């Protein structure tokens, strides 16, 4: 019960890594609050987390909506101890696709802006809404979802890589700024994780992912949830401003 009675907010909590994290935290005694844009999945899942858990449909790109949600969480629970900024999307495409003297395509501006809005601004919105409540409460933990591609780069992911590298930068700034208030801020950088979405990929793609991972397998959502759990717990009381790679030793190439 490493998180007993800790009020924990998890964005993108209805599926994948967010769902695994919510289950793990609830099992460790946390009072779990989740949001997602998929309302049906969120409403169904929250019932598994116990009577003190709650769900709300929230678009993390909407700063005002985020603030209304966070205010409501504080009103109900009286404190906010942990934020896991998990919500994220991909819209992959080559920056410029050129062949035999012809421009065949490029990453669209709309796809770039959408990924930036969810993966980077959404993290900013939620952390900024939560931080004052943590300061008032004497401290807290903010955990941000980055990615190994935010460290190494990856082919066809200009927008996604930019956001995950940006998350690392924000994590380090907030660790410096908020440490005086006993707020720890860290990031987790997953490798290839076998979420529901990834599991639907063709077998040859999955084989390629496994081949680039020295441990010879894809990660499970629980692998990331365990990292979040440790960072949220008092066992990591002197850890802040770090990026924890949970990637099976992955080697990123082109």
DSSP state of 201: S
Q: Quote the pTM value.
A: 0.96
Helices (H) and strands (E) in the chain, counts: 10, 9
Domain that holds residue 84: 7-246
In this structure, are residues 187 and 168 in contact, taking their beta carbons and an 8 Å threshold?
yes
Residue 201 lies in a domain: yes
Say which residues have a Cβ less than 8 Å from residue 101's Cβ, sequence separation at least 6: none
Q: What is the pLDDT of residue 254?
A: 47
Q: Which secondary structure element, helix H or strand E, spans residue 77, and what is its range?
A: helix 63-77
CA nearest neighbour of 200 among 214, 218, 186: 218
In this structure, are residues 139 and 183 in contact, taking their beta carbons and an 8 Å threshold?
yes
Helices (H), 78-157: 109-116, 122-137, 149-152
CATH number for the domain harbouring residue 53: 3.40.50.720
Structure tokens at 182: 């006993």
Residue 98: active-site member: no
CA nearest neighbour of 34 among 63, 58, 17: 58
Q: CB atoms < 10 A from the CB of 206, how many?
A: 16
In this structure, are residues 193 and 149 in contact, taking their beta carbons and an 8 Å threshold?
no
Residue 251 lies in a domain: no
Residue 254 lies in a domain: no
Residue 200 lies in a domain: yes
Q: How far is CA 228 from CA 34, 97, 185, in A?
A: 15, 37, 11
Residue 189 lies in a domain: yes
- Distance of alpha carbon 100 from alpha carbon 82, whole angstroms: 52
Largest Cα–Cα distance in the chain? 62
pLDDT < 70: residue spans in the chain: 253-254
- Distance of alpha carbon 180 from alpha carbon 161, whole angstroms: 30
Q: Which secondary structure element, helix H or strand E, spans residue 230, and what is its range?
A: helix 221-232
Q: What is the pLDDT of residues 182-230, one digit of tens each?
A: 999 999 999 999 998 788 888 998 998 999 999 999 999 999 999 999 9
Residue 253 lies in a domain: no
Q: What is the pLDDT of residue 253?
A: 60
Residue 162 lies in a domain: yes
- Distance of alpha carbon 145 from alpha carbon 243, whole angstroms: 10
Q: CB atoms < 10 A from the CB of 122, how many?
A: 26
On the CB side of 2, CA atoms within 13 Å amount to 14
Number of domains forming the structure of the chain: 1
Q: What is the pLDDT of residue 180?
A: 98
Q: How far is CA 47 from the centre of its chain?
A: 22
Question: Active site residue: 77, 133, 152, 160, which one?
Answer: 160
Residue 252 lies in a domain: no
Sign of the Cα pseudo-torsion (173, 174, 175, 181, in order): positive
Q: What is the pLDDT of residue 98?
A: 94
Q: Which secondary structure element, helix H or strand E, spans residue 23, and what is its range?
A: helix 16-27
Q: What is the pLDDT of residue 199?
A: 86
């Amino acid at each position: 019960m490493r998180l007993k009675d800790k009020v924990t907010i998890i964005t993108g909590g209805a599926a994948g890594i967010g769902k695994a994290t919510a289950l793990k935290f609830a099992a460790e005694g946390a009072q779990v609050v989740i949001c997602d844009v998929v309302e049906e999945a969120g409403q169904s899942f929250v019932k598994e987390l116990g009577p003190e858990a709650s769900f709300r449909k929230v678009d993390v790109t909407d700063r005002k909506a985020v603030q209304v949600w966070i205010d409501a969480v504080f009103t109900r629970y009286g404190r906010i101890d942990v934020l896991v900024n998990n919500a994220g999307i991909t819209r992959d495409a080559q920056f410029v696709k050129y062949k035999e003297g012809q421009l065949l395509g490029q990453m669209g501006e709309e796809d770039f802006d959408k990924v930036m809005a969810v993966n980077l601004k959404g993290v900013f919105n939620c952390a900024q809404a939560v931080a004052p409540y943590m300061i008032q409460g004497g401290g807290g933990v903010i955990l941000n979802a980055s990615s190994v591609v935010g460290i190494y780069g990856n082919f066809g992911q200009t927008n996604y890589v930019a956001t995950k590298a940006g998350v690392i930068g924000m994590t380090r700034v907030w660790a410096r700024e908020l440490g005086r208030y006993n707020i720890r801020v860290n990031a987790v950088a997953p490798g290839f994780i076998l979420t529901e979405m990834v599991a639907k990929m063709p077998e040859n793609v999955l084989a390629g992912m496994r081949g680039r991972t020295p441990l010879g397998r894809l990660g499970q959502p629980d692998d990331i949830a365990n990292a979040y759990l440790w960072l949220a717990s008092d066992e990591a009381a002197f850890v802040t401003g770090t990026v924890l790679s949970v990637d099976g030793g992955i080697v990123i190439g082109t």
